[in-house]
Amino acid sequence: MTAPNTAPTVSTLPSTAAPQASTGRKRYARVLSIAGSDSGGGAGIQADLKTCSALGCYGMTAITAITVQNTLGVTGIHGIPLATVRDQIDAVVQDIGVDAVKIGMLATPEVVSVVADAIRRHQIKNVVLDPVMVATSGDRLIAPETAQVLVREIFPLASVITPNLDEAAMLLGRGIGGIDDLDAAVADLLAMGAPAVLLKGGHLPGDLVMDVLGRQGQAASDYLRLQSQRIATHNGHGTGCTLSSAIASFLAQGLALEQAVTEARRYILGAIAAGADVYTGHGHGPLNHGYAPRAQLIV
């Protein structure tokens, strides 16, 4: 499946945490990524910026950590000082403004609290939380105690959380064995305080991949189920980062959550397919983020 080459037509966009602008003043659809840096370029801040650009948005960053990383794995993590994380967010929001936020790697309870405080202070909406806990290589990226603070402080502020099965298992304290377990897992994650959950089923075996989107108050029968044929590839690095930043990009353009998730999933399937047989490094390579670039949206 491939994504269309043209951006969706949007007449007006919600203005969130933005300075007041004069009537008729042009601007871009603005996405802030609060996440870690991947020196290999396939995930984290680097993947988020590539995705925002590919989907016609203006990407901005607040870097929470610097990882020493390539396609073979993570060999080091250096946390950014808390005041610097806070100041990056403040600088971007107060000057440029933000239409949507993607939150990725938050490695410690302290940085979780700093980010949560910034979201509350600036009353930022359209928050996509990718609860990054384990890298594609299997490396753990956050301290175990951080998960509890993430649930308590960020889940209620998020528009949607986007865990994969490993992350959902860590949050729930149990494994997810098959497609029949996805609905119950979504329901239990919603019960932890997230307004909406997109549970990604790509780690399950089989030729079909099923993702499930559920909202607070919905019956399981009303969940949105998104199914596709599995794409054979060794390049899965950064898929979670890419999907969450794509959702944020479409939310920034004014799409409703279900449509943003559907369009983001279409984009990522195209990016996986376009880079499926390309070799980058000696391990898990990245997607082809720029396979079908869209013109930058001006509103």
Q: What is the pLDDT along the chain (299 residues), one digit of tens a residue?
A: 333 333 333 333 333 444 444 457 999 999 999 999 999 999 999 999 999 999 999 999 999 999 999 999 989 999 999 999 999 999 999 999 999 999 999 989 999 999 999 999 999 999 999 998 876 666 666 777 899 999 999 999 999 999 999 999 999 999 999 999 999 999 999 999 999 999 999 989 999 999 999 999 999 999 999 999 999 999 999 999 999 999 999 999 999 999 999 999 999 999 999 999 999 999 999 999 999 999 999 99
* pTM: predicted TM-score of the whole model, two decimal places: 0.91
The answer to whether the beta carbons of residues 246 and 128 sit under 8 Å apart is: no
- Output the six-digit token pair for 235: 């390049």
Q: Residues near 172 by Cβ (< 8 Å), separated by ≥ 6?
A: 185, 188, 189
In angstroms, rounded to a whole number, what is the distance separating the alpha carbons of residues 285 and 298?
32
